Amino acid sequence: MPQLALLLTTFVWGATFPATKAALEQITPLSFLFLRFLLGMLVVFAVLFVLRRTLTRDAAMLRMSLIASLWLFLGYVLQTIGLHLTTASNSAFITVLYVVFVPLYLRRLSAHTWISNGIALIGLWFLVKPTASANLGDLLTLGSAAAFAAHMVCLEHYTRTTDAVSLFAWQLVMMTVAMLGAMWWEQPTAIMFEPSRVLLLGLGVTGILATGAFAVQMWAQQLLPAQQVALLFAVEPAIAAWLAWYFLGENLDAQGWFGSAMILGGVLLGSRVPEEMTQATPQPVSVRSEGR
């Protein structure tokens, strides 16, 4: 069941937040992202080698992989830089606004979609309690939400028209190359790459587990509409809060539990996607941009 598989991946995405936060005490953000995608790429290509799985390498595949990777790269860079300029709660709330951008991009503006999204976003507000004031970090994070939404829309279309495994692998290659170039902007030092326990744990969670979660998303988006995938991912901040409460002893008050319940309610409502929405023809932003 793709919905259940995606919900399980949100536990991984939720775990990446504390793992990354700890690793960033040692290494700069873009350098960490480079190591993360490099590790994920190596693991995936090792699996493909064992399975003797060859990749599609025609021009159409590389073009689709490049477009999807550009949106993914933009989302990660804007989110990471924005996190340094705003609060973690603001970042969590604004990032999940991709649940609004996805149906806007696809022009799937049914009342069902907006009611379920609205319930989840109100619950998220109660959970993370973001500040009302906005700064540059909030604007950058809003840009990342728009980019992540465009990436989800790309995957809905591309995974149904091409080889999803090849699309997945080529995105990892392109993200690794892009992050290699971007990290030199930070002028990293050799000591940042020391294989400490914290760094290795962070890379294990983000480079291996999160790469597996990305693979599950690629598979699920062949079966589910993009707006439902985005809504399911809205559970991620709630799971992160639950994990922090259970393992780290962080406080989760009555307002936080109420917000969590609203998020789950919105997701459950949104999981009942009307049949006409699942049959709608995808209109990804990336495809329209190619015609310019």
At residue 248, the pLDDT reads: 57
Q: Are 95 and 214 in contact (CB under 8 A)?
A: no
3-state secondary structure the chain: CHHHHHHHHHHHHHHHHHHHHHHCCCCCHHHHHHHHHHHHHHHHHHHHHHCCCCCCCCHHHHHHHHHHHHHHHHHHHHHHHHHCCCCHHHHHHHHCCHHHHHHHHHCCCCHHHHHHHHHHHHHHHHHHCCCCCCCHHHHHHHHHHHHHHHHHHHHHHHCCCCCHHHHHHHHHHHHHHHHHHHHHHHCCCHHHHCCCHHHHHHHHHHHHHHHHHHHHHHHHCCCCCHHHHHHHHCCHHHHHHHHHHHHCCCCCCHHHHHHHHHHHHHHHHHCCCCHHHHCCCCCCHHHHHHCC
Q: In a structure prediction context, what are the per-residue pLDDT tens digits for the chain, which is 292 residues long?
A: 788 888 888 888 777 777 887 888 899 989 999 999 999 999 999 999 999 999 999 999 999 999 999 999 999 889 877 877 776 666 777 777 788 888 888 887 778 778 887 887 888 788 767 666 667 888 898 899 899 999 999 999 999 999 999 999 999 999 999 999 998 888 899 999 999 999 999 999 999 999 999 999 999 988 888 888 887 887 777 776 676 666 656 666 787 778 777 877 777 676 665 544 444 444 433 333 233 3
| pLDDT attached to residue 279 | 45
pTM to 2 decimal places: 0.80
Tokens (6 digits) for 167: 């699309």
For residue 272, the model assigns a pLDDT of 62
Q: What is the domain partition of the chain in residue ranges?
A: 2-286
CA distance 173 to 56: 13
Residue 286 confidence (pLDDT): 35
**CA 271, CA 267: separation in Å to the nearest integer?**
6
- Please tell me the distance from the alpha carbon of residue 156 to that of residue 98, in angstroms, as a whole number: 14
